[in-house]
Structure 1
């Protein structure tokens, strides 16, 4: 707290501000400071309010040891100065007897006799005050359940009594009843009891999150797995990182452990790592630690005890080590409670949870389903995968990697010359062998010197980097390989490596230009020049290199053609097509003459791409069909998946989504026959998602997008992966799967490179923006507002992208308005208006300004009219600017929408004549709807509101009915019967009222 309140007015204002903070140390420390400040004022009521705020902070901040101390002071003040407590304060005081009873149960050092004495005092106080005893009997039941006594009588004494004003809310009581049925073994009755809470018909601050956490496993046992999945996503969000709901958070970890979602459980544990230190309640900590042990025990049982795990701060943990630590601490806590209570209840309950077998092998909880292998650190395989025979391998057949090192080296090179995908497994095995400390290079003329092998491995590593668009790394590795080839006396191999480096270097230009903020047109021009120069250098390199084998010369020809293909793709200049065709023809002729099937296929693919890049899609399809026929009869078969993928993309251009879907599906089917990395399956899944969307299959598209992202992430293409996840999250939100969207983004945002700020800030901002919109759709207004405000502050510095700042700041302003924070909303909107001057966004700004005006008038009535009209004045200027710029709105006319909003705002403020005049203006601007007029709905709504203002508020029913009858006649005669129905209904109500 910057400065202590200097008056009771400032104190009350500070208390209100603190009440808006989330529970946690900041709120608790501020509450403690406000009690100190209140003690300096001679106003016992102010001290009572400050103490009540402090006890609430302790209660929901999981600090049960301090809550009873604060309540003792409140009780003393009540006994000494009862007149200070008005009816509301008196109600709060007696309500919190239950809080103290709950707090005392949570501390094993408090003797059982003290707990019983407190309940006796509670009963006495309630009886003296003439209050019903149902709340007392509830606390008596909860103590019996906690201790492990027979609860039959205690439950009947509580459940048989009617509710009072001091009873727990209905949702909390439902949870308690259901948990009782669960402990008696009647899970079916428990789920029936929980139904109103699980369905959202009863709720409070901690419900339905608390009920959901206990209902998850019974739901799975009852076969209601989809409901359990949905509730897990919603319920977890309601309790995560909350110290006062540590037990509930733990039950979500336990749910993950028992449904085959151990990897998600570890992810959620990491998100809640702070609970190890922040939970001050021993009972809550016991529940949390037991659930953590259930999860860790399951992970260790599955053979992953060496996985890293998020545990107590100050050291790194493996699953096995953390499990041992958690087990010792939880056993100690259970023993302390049992010692206090004189039973073995807590040890027994703990053991029952730890002994429970998994309920399902797997239950897909989120769109991003990962297994423990996905979160394990990458480890090179001890045994190399099988590879295909070098000579004419059949699709899918494989042979063991040769045991002999010389044979392995020769096999790798032979497969590499063919471009065979199984070469990669050989190189991987060789890399492991060469990197070993005890590696001895064979003295074999067929193998050559170690320098050549190291160059081979560098070249293969460079090719992998190029596949990931890491062109700078690829170029450096190829140059290093070339130097080693020279040292090994392999000038032809060195030339090929330098040719690859030239092409990779030319592709670095777009990255550098983007980093420098260069315009797209300038970037394209620079890239075109780089590729032209690269091609010239490749030609010169080819001409001065002699003694090449056919496969080496073909590779240089392929590099030359590829450079010109990339140039045409970049420039889209028809003049660049003919040189490309000439290079492709040279490659094709050379490859045909020497029987190089892989390079023949590559040349035909480049010829097809040339047609596509010049806009002749039918010719491109004809070329690719011929290539597919050749591949099916002559091979190489591993080129089929990639070629079918290209054909699918060509079908997009021809508008045939069905054909594209078929090609891409077949491509993925064939890709499964080859090792991972042979085909860019991540792109194929992404393209298949596009096909599914064009065919109106969004759920399929969502599955394909998430699969694309997962594969890209495994391949190391993290930016592509996060872009795919962003698209999946947006689609998820559009489909109304709000909780799935939030869960997906929470998981993605927890990725180490995103959390560390190493990913492109705009991409991260897009992920956060989608999440903020999902939070808003999920009615978590506080979290959504905080995220939007943070994004608005960050995007204010995006000088190269003011349009995005307009969008974010405007949405943030509306959210602040929905929360009633109109001062901050005005500031955010002013930022949006300033950015709008650089990047006009007429419709969005107009929409947001009108919405803010409506919100302020609706929430504040006449007191908010002036500020609401100021928002509308800004919207009027936006409309004027749009008109002057010749902008045509995609939706409603900005002028008619503005006039309509003037009507609503004045109506909310009680200015009914002004409201009616504004609505008349809107109607005049719209004009009466004709047949096939898409403005009929807007016109009808304007008439409806005008009639309400006229007939109800201005009490001119006859005029309103005349207006409505004429409008109904106009709409009906022009075929807009559906739009006329609300007006007919309103007219009937007005007639009934007169």
Structure 2
């Protein structure tokens, strides 16, 4: 601030100018200086306005933990001189009880007893002022959801009450209620609470994050098996992000849409969408996050493979494997890419290069285990080598099986393993995750299957039927005890083509750096809520 205000008129003018500044350090420092200036005038109204501006700067700027301290000063002034507060200032005061409740919940060092004490203070103040308690019960529900205690009762106490002028914006509350049902597994009711697009289309872009809403709707639709609806919501989410200038978020949503399109078997549509994205100027110029671009290329390579363009798919996988080898911060993703690359090279008959890629996958796996995916790839490589090379490839096939067995033994101590890295954007990962399936493989069943394979192979060796039996048992299926003899007999006749279930590896595995996704735990809030005719629309 160049010069301190000399009169209250200059103070109010400075407050207006500061209100037009973006949130951040400059606005916060100026607000602090204006509070010091207001204290010199000895006028409580001017001081209240300056303190409210400072609390707003703290809340939406870089220091939200200071917000409760400033509000305590405003509350003390209200207790000492209530006549100073006009109707608008009084409304703002009671509205910001919710700001403080949100700020306190965000402090990990804040004792739970203190959080509950603040809510008790809020309830008492609302009752004394003759205000409806729906906003208080809304905050009580937020705290219950935050700590995971008595959530159902807290939700019912809040949801059953009529909204008041101090309630959160309707968009926030609708989405909060829908997500409560979504978390409880009641997807139909969640969609019913939303009323989908109809309502979202009427909400202003600066009042609710409609892109994020469409992502949540996509998640609910995936739970219900409504894949086409989910695809539409993902596409609309991407379009909303593009309109707001969020190209990284938009490309993440498009990546999810492309993967879902591929999973629905629409290979040509998937490739067309990805080709259009990869042709964008900022992608071609290398300006977009390199891991996200790699995710798009990986999905395209899988689509080419699904479309039976093995040569093009293999070339792209080889290129991606070479690039991902330099990802020192994400060896798990390199392990999975190299493993898939090895399988495609095996399908192409290039078993020497396939072995090299498999060795890369194993080396990366040692740093960041991917048990299930790598084990499936090694078994598939064993099948391919034995099938294509016959007796000459039997030794190499057994080596692959030995590697797969060792990985299965390692997985025994880790439960369900082989998780992929987080999705391209944290806040959209749940929506994408439901259509990205993995072949289930518990450590116990894998170990049993490996031991069965060994016993069958040993007996077959004694009878001189190595190749036939190997092809019969190298698949990812594990016969039930009653089926083993009959299924093995069928395998002898078909050279292992019967009963084999090939594991799918269409898994999102790359996490872009510097993404601005939401953390795993927090609940959905209309984070875009901003100023309305009745003050500030909640602190998300």
Q: Provide the residue aligned with 2:154 in structure 1.
A: 620
Provide the rounded CA distance (Å) in 2 between the counterparts of 1:885 and 1:879. Answer: 10
Q: Provide the residue aligned with 2:446 in structure 1.
A: 893
Provide the rounded CA distance (Å) in 2 between the counterparts of 1:581 and 1:479. Answer: 29
Q: Provide the residue aligned with 2:52 in structure 1.
A: 496
1:203-250 CA distance string (max 9 Å, x none): xxxxxxxxxxxxxxxxxxxxxxxxxxxxxxxxxxxxxxxxxxxxxxxx
Provide the rounded CA distance (Å) in 1 between the counterparts of 2:237 and 2:485. Answer: 46
Greater CA drift, 600-609 or 645-654: 600-609
**Contact 2:94 / 2:166 at 8 angstroms: preserved in 1?**
no
1:763-812 CA distance string (max 9 Å, x none): 44333322222222122323322332233233333344332222111011
Q: Provide the residue aligned with 2:522 in structure 1.
A: none
Q: Provide the residue aligned with 2:104 in structure 1.
A: 564
How far 1:593 moved relative to its partner? 6.3
Q: Give the one of 848, 854, 859 matched to 2:388.
A: 859
Q: Give the one of 179, 193, 199 matched to 1:663.
A: 193
**Contact 2:335 / 2:362 at 8 angstroms: preserved in 1?**
yes
SS of the residue aligned with 1:837? Answer: helix
**Contact 1:842 / 1:882 at 8 angstroms: preserved in 2?**
yes
1:385-442 CA distance string (max 9 Å, x none): xxxxxxxxxxxxxxxxxxxxxxxxxxxxxxxxxxxxxxxxxxxxxxxxxxxxxxxxxx
Judged with a 3 Å threshold, the aligned counterparts in structure 2 of structure 1 residues 555 and 639 are, in CA distance, closer, same or farther, namely closer
Counterpart check, 1:707 vs 2:270: no
Q: Provide the residue aligned with 2:505 in structure 1.
A: none
Q: Give the one of 915, 919, 941 matched to 2:467.
A: 915
How far 1:707 moved relative to its partner? 1.5
Gaps of 5+ in 2: 1-7, 39-45, 79-83, 418-440, 500-540
Provide the rounded CA distance (Å) in 2 between the counterparts of 1:765 and 1:481. Answer: 44
How far 1:650 moved relative to its partner? 0.5
Provide the rounded CA distance (Å) in 2 between the counterparts of 1:939 and 1:610. Answer: 59
Greater RCO (Cα-Cα under 8 Å, separation 6 or more): 2
Counterpart check, 1:722 vs 2:268: no
> Where does 1:284-363 land on structure 2 (aligned, <5 Å)?
none
**Contact 1:454 / 1:484 at 8 angstroms: preserved in 2?**
no
Q: CA RMSD in A?
A: 4.3
Counterpart check, 1:550 vs 2:99: no
Provide the rounded CA distance (Å) in 2 between the counterparts of 1:941 and 1:694. Answer: 35
Structure with the bigger percentage of helix: 1
Judged with a 3 Å threshold, the aligned counterparts in structure 2 of structure 1 residues 927 and 869 are, in CA distance, closer, same or farther, namely closer
Counterpart check, 1:581 vs 2:116: yes
Provide the rounded CA distance (Å) in 2 between the counterparts of 1:535 and 1:559. Answer: 8
Provide the rounded CA distance (Å) in 2 between the counterparts of 1:739 and 1:860. Answer: 33
Q: Give the one of 672, 682, 686 matched to 2:211.
A: 682
Q: Provide the residue aligned with 2:4 in structure 1.
A: none
Q: Provide the residue aligned with 1:606 in structure 2.
A: 139
Judged with a 3 Å threshold, the aligned counterparts in structure 2 of structure 1 residues 740 and 887 are, in CA distance, closer, same or farther, namely closer
Q: Provide the residue aligned with 1:651 in structure 2.
A: 181
1:511-545 CA distance string (max 9 Å, x none): xxxxxxxxxxxxxxxxxxxx7x5466445665787
Q: Provide the residue aligned with 2:481 in structure 1.
A: 929
How far 1:815 moved relative to its partner? 1.4
> Where does 1:728-807 land on structure 2 (aligned, <5 Å)?
728-751=257-280, 753-807=282-336
Counterpart check, 1:457 vs 2:20: yes
Counterpart check, 1:834 vs 2:363: yes
SS of the residue aligned with 2:349? Answer: coil
Provide the rounded CA distance (Å) in 2 between the counterparts of 1:922 and 1:781. Answer: 23
Counterpart check, 1:639 vs 2:193: no
Q: How many residues align?
A: 447
Q: Give the one of 16, 19, 24 matched to 1:475.
A: 24
**Contact 2:317 / 2:337 at 8 angstroms: preserved in 1?**
yes
How far 1:832 moved relative to its partner? 0.8
How far 1:646 moved relative to its partner? 0.7
1:19-57 CA distance string (max 9 Å, x none): xxxxxxxxxxxxxxxxxxxxxxxxxxxxxxxxxxxxxxx
Task: State the TM-score, normalized to the length of structure 2.
Answer: 0.68
SS of the residue aligned with 2:175? Answer: helix
SS of the residue aligned with 1:641? Answer: helix
**Contact 2:327 / 2:334 at 8 angstroms: preserved in 1?**
yes
Provide the rounded CA distance (Å) in 1 between the counterparts of 2:287 and 2:135. Answer: 37
Judged with a 3 Å threshold, the aligned counterparts in structure 2 of structure 1 residues 837 and 448 are, in CA distance, closer, same or farther, namely closer
> Where does 1:176-195 land on structure 2 (aligned, <5 Å)?
none
Judged with a 3 Å threshold, the aligned counterparts in structure 2 of structure 1 residues 579 and 689 are, in CA distance, closer, same or farther, namely same
Task: State the TM-score, normalized to the length of structure 1.
Answer: 0.40
Provide the rounded CA distance (Å) in 1 between the counterparts of 2:415 and 2:155. Answer: 42
Provide the rounded CA distance (Å) in 2 between the counterparts of 1:604 and 1:541. Answer: 25
